[in-house]
Amino acid sequence: MIINNRTVLITGGTGSFGQKFTEIVLRDYQPDKVIIFSRDELKQYEMRQKFGNDNRLRFFIGDVRDKDRLYRAFQGVDLVVHAAALKQIPAAEYNPFEVIKTNILGAQNIIEAAIDCGVKRVIALSTDKAANPVNLYGATKLCSDKLFIAAKSYVGSQDTRFSVVRYGNVVGSRGSVIPLFLEQRKTGKISITDTRMTRFWITLEQGVRFVINCLDRMHSGEIFVPKLPSTRITDLAAVIAPNCEIEIIGIRPGEKLHEVMITEEDSRCTFEYDDYYVITPRFPWWKRGNCRDGKALPEGFIYSSDRNTWWLDQEAIKKMLQQAIPGFEDLGS
């Protein structure tokens, strides 16, 4: 594993992904150091208390908007996992300049600092909302993805690699519908925007382990997409709040009925493996042989939550929630 005996830095490291990533890496691997880079000193203090006195863990206050701070933080770093982003969709619509500064200009700062500081590999977290985006958050993440995909063109003879991981909703994460349903059921009524809605789901641990595996397999310029199960929003509601009244409130601005992770256009340069897909870059430096073990997709293929062949029924949804949300069984139904 490339993560062993290396120094790893996580931007946005005090978030839910960063905390789970740190937990798994410190427990299951042998990194030299894990550096948490984030803006929030309180969350860093709380994280320090959580993980105790592990001498492999370091904390670095900074913002991806501040290129000078990134240059300082990246000294001696081998691997960077870029998880920092502004991602609340309504806030993004109201504060577009701020989101652009973090999600797009911050990505450019990461790329330039990584190249100049000799970082070996950078993997950026993306979102299904970057595929055919309909809101500003998705549009900024699409721009960010394009920057990381093209970054190899700026490296020259240096061996710095950049790739992207794209996946769907994380079970129980802040901003997902699951915490909302759990809170709403206390009132006896839950709100659904549209009963036809479908979503991909991944647990936090699955997301972290997928990113770690992609650090090993990346060449540069790829977008890695895990194969995930789909659920119907009505089935999810039935598991979380079976006795509640359902109020249909209508689809919100910037919201999709179904999630897309691979568009028809991208599928033409995508290769399929047993448990993931790789969207390859269209640049002269990309070697087609990098995906020689992958299978080309049929013409017209779209990887969307409504066309998926892997679905969770209500019993499987319940098991997923029990595994991902501590105490879910004790919450009652």
Catalytic residue numbers, as ranges: 129
3-state secondary structure of 131: coil
Burial label, 222 (beta-carbon count in 10 A; 0-12, 13-18, 19+): buried
d(CA 232, CA 259): 12
Length of the chain: 333
Looking at residue 119, its amino acid is V
Looking at residue 330, its amino acid is D
Q: E-assigned strands of 45-195? A: 57-61, 79-82, 121-125, 161-165, 169-170, 189-192
Query: What is the enclosing helix (H) or strand (E) of 214?
Result: helix 204-217
DSSP string, 240-303: H-TTSEEEE--PPTT--SS-EEE-HHHHTTEEE-SSEEEEPP-STT--GGGGTTSEEPPTT--E
The distance between the two most distant Cα atoms of the chain, rounded to a whole number of Å, is 62
d(CA 114, CA 179): 36
Residue in the structure block whose two tokens are 């009244």: 245
d(CA 37, CA 42): 13
Query: What is the enclosing helix (H) or strand (E) of 181?
Result: helix 177-184
3-state secondary structure of 161: strand
